[in-house]
Amino acid sequence: MSVSTPVRALTPAAVMARKGDTPLVCLTAYTTPVAKLVDPECDIVLVGDSVGMVLHGLPSTLGVTLEMMIMHGKAVMRGLGRALCVVDMPFGSYEESPAQAFRHAARLLAETGAAAVKLEGGLHMKETISFLVARGIPVMGHVGLTPQSVNTLGGYKVQGRDADAGRVLADAHAVADAGAFAVVLEKLPSALAATITNEVPVPTIGIGAGPACDGQILVVDDMLGLFADFRPKFVKRFATLAEDAGAAIHAYAEEVRTGRFPAQEHSFGAAS
């Protein structure tokens, strides 16, 4: 009798070893059913604080709480078998001090079962990242456009243009030097992202940062076309599910109003 080998989830070390190899495939997920869908294809699944905007209707990520991230992290972990699960640390949960960051990161990993956390920031987060890594918490960095700093950045603008390129490059080096196993590059000029990818020793994961990165990530709802009125330049729609869902809901409503649903095949008869 043959015994099937259980699927082993990827580790941060395995992801780090993919630097310069086949590009890493990454998507967000916030629920168990979506986690099950993306798991066979993804190397990394991010439980992003974008959940606040995507599922909860918040205007930005700033209102996302640690409890929300734990709830969605648990849900995603129930649907994963292969992919590395990374959970975002929400705004206000790590900026105060390395000790604060450790308490909340430890809680995230302990309560969700995820393997790593992601936090935003470069040079000013170097000490915090180093503190977490030294205490057994794998960290993914995030530089360039950092949505939790949207009020300081003046909106969701491309970062690292012209004189600003040196700042972003220094941020990426700081994150890698601090021990992060990978770093997200968001909304950067392609040439700058390529320079960063060539210079830092850890994988770069691009979102709106061009094709030279070691991997790519998108919000799953964006690439599936679940938002008919939202289409950033860096998102390619691989489906148009909002249109399909709208048509299906319209058909259902019409059949209910005209008495065509439920039909006999959808109804139960008397017990025999």
Catalytic (active-site) positions: 186
* Closest to 101 (Cα-Cα) out of 154, 56, 49, 137: 137
Cis peptide before 189 (omega within 30 of 0): no
Question: Residue 222, annotated ligand binder?
Answer: no
CB 53 within 8 A of CB 61: yes
Question: Residue 267, annotated ligand binder?
Answer: no
Measured CA to CA, the distance from residue 101 to residue 133 in angstroms comes to 11
* Side chain identity at residue 271, one-letter code: A
* Side chain identity at residue 241, one-letter code: L
CB 48 within 8 A of CB 88: yes
3-state secondary structure of 71: helix
Angle formed at CA 54 by CA 68 and CA 223, multiple of 5 degrees: 130
Name the phi and psi angles at 85, rounded to 5. Answer: -100, 125
Question: Residue 162, annotated ligand binder?
Answer: no
* Closest to 88 (Cα-Cα) out of 56, 65, 58: 65
3-state secondary structure of 11: coil
Provide the β-strand partners of residue 117: 87, 139
Phi-psi region of 162 (alpha: psi -120 to 50; beta: other; left: phi over 0): left
The two structure tokens encoding residue 168: 């972003």
Question: Residue 49, annotated ligand binder?
Answer: yes
Question: Residue 118, annotated ligand binder?
Answer: yes
**Which positions make up the binding site?**
49-50, 88, 118, 120
**Which positions make up the binding site for 3-methyl-2-oxobutanoate?**
49-50, 88, 118
**Which positions make up the binding site for Mg(2+)?**
49, 88, 120
